[in-house]
Structure 1
Amino acid sequence: MPTLVAAETDERDALLQFLAAQRGALRRALGGLTREQATSRPTASELSVAGLVKHCAEVESNWIRVDLAGRPSLRPRDVTNWSDSHRLVEGEEIEAVLAFYDQVEAETAEIVAALPDLDATVPLPEAPWFPKDARRSGRWILMHLIEETARHAGHADIIRESIDGATAFALLGWK
């Protein structure tokens, strides 16, 4: 699918625009679905469209807000509640997940704009999946988020098509 990201932007803006394009793909996959459809798992996977949107919002918030800016997490996760980041929990509504994603997007833009440059590095938290004493640059984090969000947007496309036959092209109004 062609990108809508302008070629004449600087690197920081281009990375943010590529990330926004992938967020848009996730949102489109969710658009028009009922709660029952959005939380359904019609494939062999445990993933749902709503769960993927929530997961991507939380992952982006943690990489940008917590790791890059050193702020406290808005939605702390550990091994006891990790699966809650992949599904809507009791009382959680799609509108709230989308509002949280809006908040995350705005905060990402604010934090990235404030970076002295994209080469600035931050330590990664201690976790079994990170190398000991690892550091990552703002550039690396943004590229990783683009990759992560794009991967999950693809998952959401497949799940959405399994739910009602809608494809990414149809959701954009293309034939």
Structure 2
Amino acid sequence: MTVVKRPPLTSDERTQLTGWLDLQRSFVRMKCEDLNETDAHRSLLPTSPLMTMAGLVAHLRWNEYSWFQLNLLGVPDTGQTPWTEDGHPDVEMAVDDVPIAQLLDEYDAECARSNAAIADLSLDAVEQGLYAVKGEAASLRYILCHMIEETARHLGHLDIIRELLDGSTSYDRLSPEQPA
């Protein structure tokens, strides 16, 4: 398991934003380490049956795609997303038949694609997708801040679900030289 280090304390804004996002992203795989398929797909919250370890990983993957590809770059959705106009709003979390290892690999690949998408963009670059058309375009700076928040919030959900599943906490699995 590779956990990214925190960004340097005095680094520039871009390094801070991408560094903190990459750190949060690296914790997703850590929280799923040694998780069996049954537990990965086990629903523990009666009012939120799609909120499983696997469902949250899938949700994070599609959030990466939505914010960086669809919204920021304005890449048209050609039907590859799980969403439909009249479908369930959280359909991306319905992944009972997808192995957790595949979901984690897809998440990692999407994060790498997100990083590649923003590599040459200014933090002041604005969305080119649907929100730009509506006159509500966000800057890359905003998107990075939002994705740090979004990823960290769902990491908290992963922490709670994992602890309810098997008593494991993610910090139990950190080596002394890894950041807490």
Correspondence for 2:101: 95
> Which residue does the alignment assign to 1:66?
70
- Number of aligned residue pairs: 166
Cα RMSD of the aligned pairs, angstroms, is: 2.2
Q: Which residue of 2 aligns with 1:80?
A: 87
- Relative to the length of structure 2, the TM-score reads 0.82
Distance 2:29 2:141 in 1: 24
* Equivalent AA in structure 2 for residue 86 of structure 1: M
Does the residue aligned with 1:169 lie in a helix, a strand or coil?
helix
What is the identity percentage for the equivalent residue pairs of Structure 1 and Structure 2? 34
Q: Which moved more, 1:164-173 or 1:117-126?
A: 117-126
Uncovered stretches (5+) of structure 1, i.e. residues with no partner: 127-131
Alignment counterpart, residue 124 of structure 2, candidates 116, 119, 137: 119
2:150 is aligned to 148
Contact 2:162 2:168 in 1 (8 A): yes
- Alpha-carbon distance change, 85 to 26 in structure 1, aligned in 2, over 3 angstroms: same
Superposed, which structure 2 residues align to 1:27-38 within 5 Å?
A: 27-38=29-40
Aligned residues of 2:39 and 2:165 also touching (Cα < 8 A): yes
Aligned: 1:105 with 2:108: no
The Cα shift of 1:10 comes to 2.6
TM-score of the superposition, structure 1-length normalised? 0.84
CA distance in 2, matches of 1:146, 1:163: 25
